Chain A
């Protein structure tokens, strides 16, 4: 069973994604901010991380950089979820170390495809 950590501070978004992904057979764990995410990843490394970029306490980009700096999580697949739609956001996400990104509102099939892509790579 593939374990995905969903890092998202908006309750509704979290609820939505969790239920939809669970229905597709993934095991979902969630965190509400960057710090919590790092803790949970350290505790039990998921197979993939879905990270919202706008997080309280520690934002998505910083969390990503942290993960990349740590050799244990250097190659952990991370997909960024951004609400901004400007080109620079993609650059920013990639610069922070994310493998892929998708914008909100989330195109669910596309997200599934990206997850599949990263997990089989």
Chain B
């Protein structure tokens, strides 16, 4: 099936032109036709005239001839007239001429007159014959009878006349016919001509009107859309180019309309966010003032009381003071929460990821919350569906999050059950935590606002249950920062369940732009560290020492501080050398971790300043860099070198060595009894190290259990394989089979050699002579933990014990 082509403008125009050209051709043809007919008329006319002329001539000739014959006849009767030969010849030739003349009529004969003509011919033939015989027999007097000739003559004349008349009639008839034809073709020509003009004009007009109308519609549509009515669709009435254009216009206006809608939406969102912010501020203002009001008010009252009465009603006073205290605490919690939220909002909340066991943390929290749960007569239960893999995420936030949820559950439940169900979805690699309680639950409308800031279930909640109304919104934000999701289901009086999904691997760190404020920098404190979550911040007495971190990169600074905190140090920080030097002077830290790559004053300059200044030159400086600039560093006065990226173990080792507070400790020597060992023991004792010795695996374990050593030396004559075994055991790998590697004597003790926990103390493999490179390699220890020691070579040991 051939589908009809679209009636496009092009097609219309083409058809119009073809039609016009066709008609034009037709006009031309008909004109040709009438032209031909006119010519025929002309011919006809000529024909008639010629025929007439010829007839007249013949008549004349005939008459003349007859006259001549009569004359001759008369002459003959009267006298003796003889014709000369020439006269006869002339006479005969005249006859011939006449005949010829009559024959000349032939072409002018019409179909209708042909019979007449033939009659004429035959009539004349007889006459001719008579006259001929007359001439020929003239001299002999043998002429035909004159009366016969006369009769023949009259007949011929009659025939000629008849012929003439018929000819005229025929000519007239033909003229009339032709005239009719001509008139007819003329009419046709004119008609076609007029028709062509009319058609051309109409087609032109229609085409103009059509395109005009379509374009006008398009124009109006465009104007209307341009005027703002983006939803208007120009009606598509034509299936042609203009239609296509209209469709394109409509599509464009649709796109515009969508874009506008999106912009409008964004604006509304922005407006709403703005309104939310304003609302939040208003709420916050109210919330903060309320406890302050109590604090100020009650304090004033107590003062008034005391001034006026000069004595206090103790009971009332205690009550009032308790109110002041609780208001203060509430205010503190509020401020902390608001700061958390503000930090999250401004993108300054960092996520510090590490690997941890979430179930462990939950169990810890459960024991923390046990007394509170008991107070509400609530049962606290943990269920896990399977072994939950460790999470690589922010443990601190995790703790804060669950503490909040558990605290809420305990708060809103009495005489009920609080269940924490943990499962793991291996497909999506998410750990799923459900915290359910059988408490007062929430209505659907309360549910919709559960995560909003400052919105508690209802206005009486804070009165009855306390809380800031911010906890859950902080929780939600935290969960999102941790790349998880949080949801809640609840039914009034039936209880509530919070469900949290956390990936077991957190991706890219979000909100890493944590630039501490100037004030924070001044204090050298890191206010970005969690302060209310239960992670212990090391206290002054417990700390192993105070370490100043000077590093311009906030991330690595944070990392180091966390490492330090974990290792039991108090961390101070500075983001550039100038600040670092100032803090070092002021705070007198025990150790300094200095990054070499810093803008403005660089690490090297800082190092030299620190080592020159009398107030800081005694503080050991540990250089940090990605490049190996150890020697240069040591030459310039640095105490140690810590390559980047930081190895926590390494750092701990170095810190332990260098920390003046922590220099003395206990050392464990795992070596056979030899002169060298004795020597080593002496050296250590000189430096006030407490020493323990061990010669077998079993003994090692025993010693370690007795007192955890701060430093371990292995070797000094021990067989190489034994050393490897011991190293393996110390690093926590099970050796599996019962081992008996007492080197000196073979006892029957077979002990499964495992430690309960891997050793964190630094281990040094010590030998009398330096080990070969392959042996060193197999030990899998950093190069500076493999040292040689004998009575002539004590430098490595000294360095370790920081005698320099």
Contacts and interface: CB of A to CB of B under 8 A. Distances in A.
Interface of A: 9-13, 16-17, 19-20, 23, 54, 56, 83-86, 104-106, 108
A108 B301 CA distance: 10
A108 B327 contact: no
Given A11-B463, A13-B293, A104-B293, A19 B286 contact: no
Nearest to A89: B282
A83 B289 contact: yes
A16 B298 contact: yes
Contact of B297 (A23, A54, A106): A106
A16 B297 contact: yes
Contacts of B292: 104-105
Counting chain A CB atoms within 10 Å of each CB, the highest count among B297, B327, B463 belongs to B297
A12 B323 contact: yes
A86 B286 CA distance: 11
A11 to B, nearest CB: 7
A86 B289 CA distance: 13
Contact of A16 (B301, B458, B460, B463): B301
Contact of B286 (A9, A54, A56, A108): A54
Contacts of A85: 285, 289
A108 B297 CA distance: 8
Contacts of A10: 290, 293, 463
Interface string B252-295: 00000000000000000000000000000010011001101110
Contacts of B460: 56
A20 B301 contact: yes
B285 A84 contact: yes
Contacts of A13: 290, 293-294, 297
B290 A104 contact: yes
Nearest to B462: A10
A10 B292 CA distance: 13
A84 B293 contact: no
Given A10-B463, A12-B327, 13 more contacts: A9-B463, A10-B290, A12-B298, A16-B294, A16-B298, A16-B301, A20-B300, A20-B301, A56-B458, A84-B286, A85-B285, A105-B289, A108-B297
Contact of A104 (B289, B298, B323, B463): B289
B706 interface: no
Contacts of A17: 297
Nearest to A20: B301
**In terms of DSSP, what is the predominant structure of the interface of chain A?**
loop
A56 B463 CA distance: 12
24 contacts: A9-B459, A10-B290, A10-B293, A12-B297, A12-B323, A12-B327, A16-B293, A20-B304, A54-B286, A56-B459, A83-B285, A83-B286, A83-B293, A84-B282, A85-B289, A86-B282, A86-B285, A104-B290, A105-B289, A105-B292, A105-B296, A105-B297, A106-B297, A108-B300
A106 B301 contact: no
Instruction: Determine the main DSSP class of B at the interface with A.
Output: helix
Contacts of B301: 16, 19-20
B511 to A, nearest CB: 31
Nearest to B292: A105
Nearest to A81: B293
Interface of B: 282, 285-286, 289-290, 292-294, 296-298, 300-301, 304, 323, 327, 458-460, 463
Contacts of B458: 56
A98 to B, nearest CB: 18
Contacts of B290: 10, 13, 83, 104
A63 to B, nearest CB: 15
B733 to A, nearest CB: 62
A4 B322 CA distance: 27
A23 B292 CA distance: 22
Minimum-distance CB pairs A-B, first 4: A16-B297, A105-B293, A83-B286, A12-B294
A13 B460 CA distance: 15
Contacts of A108: 297, 300
A83 B289 CA distance: 6
Q: Which residue, of A17, A56, A86, A104, has the highest number of chain B Cβ atoms within 10 A? A: A104
Nearest to B288: A83
Nearest to A17: B297
B202 to A, nearest CB: 74
Contacts of B304: 20, 23
A106 B293 contact: yes
- Residue of B292, B293, B298 with most chain A CB atoms under a 10 A cut-off: B293
A111 to B, nearest CB: 11
A106 to B, nearest CB: 7
B326 to A, nearest CB: 9
A11 B291 CA distance: 11
A106 B285 CA distance: 15
A113 to B, nearest CB: 16
Contacts of B323: 12
Contacts of A9: 459, 463
A17 B297 CA distance: 8
A86 B296 CA distance: 21
Nearest to A15: B323
Contacts of A86: 282, 285
Nearest to B305: A23
A17 B286 CA distance: 18
A109 to B, nearest CB: 10
Nearest to B327: A12
A2 to B, nearest CB: 20
A27 to B, nearest CB: 19
B305 to A, nearest CB: 9
A105 B294 CA distance: 8
A28 B460 CA distance: 23
Contacts of B286: 54, 83-84
B329 to A, nearest CB: 13
Contacts of B285: 83-86
Contacts of A84: 282, 285-286
Nearest to A55: B459
B157 to A, nearest CB: 141
A54 B463 CA distance: 14
B669 to A, nearest CB: 67
Nearest to A57: B459
A62 to B, nearest CB: 15
A18 to B, nearest CB: 11
Nearest to A12: B294
A20 B293 CA distance: 14
B235 to A, nearest CB: 52
B247 to A, nearest CB: 53
Contacts of A19: 301
Contacts of B327: 12
A13 B298 CA distance: 9
A86 B285 CA distance: 10
Nearest to B296: A105
Contacts of A104: 289-290, 292-293
Contacts of B294: 12-13, 16
A17 B323 CA distance: 14
Contacts of B298: 12, 16
A101 B773 CA distance: 86
A86 B293 CA distance: 17
Nearest to B298: A16
A6 B459 CA distance: 19
Nearest to A56: B459
B770 to A, nearest CB: 76
Contacts of A83: 285-286, 289-290, 293
A86 B300 CA distance: 25
Nearest to A108: B300
A86 B460 CA distance: 25
A13 B304 CA distance: 17
Nearest to B463: A11
Nearest to A10: B290
A31 to B, nearest CB: 15
A56 to B, nearest CB: 5
B530 to A, nearest CB: 30
A17 to B, nearest CB: 8
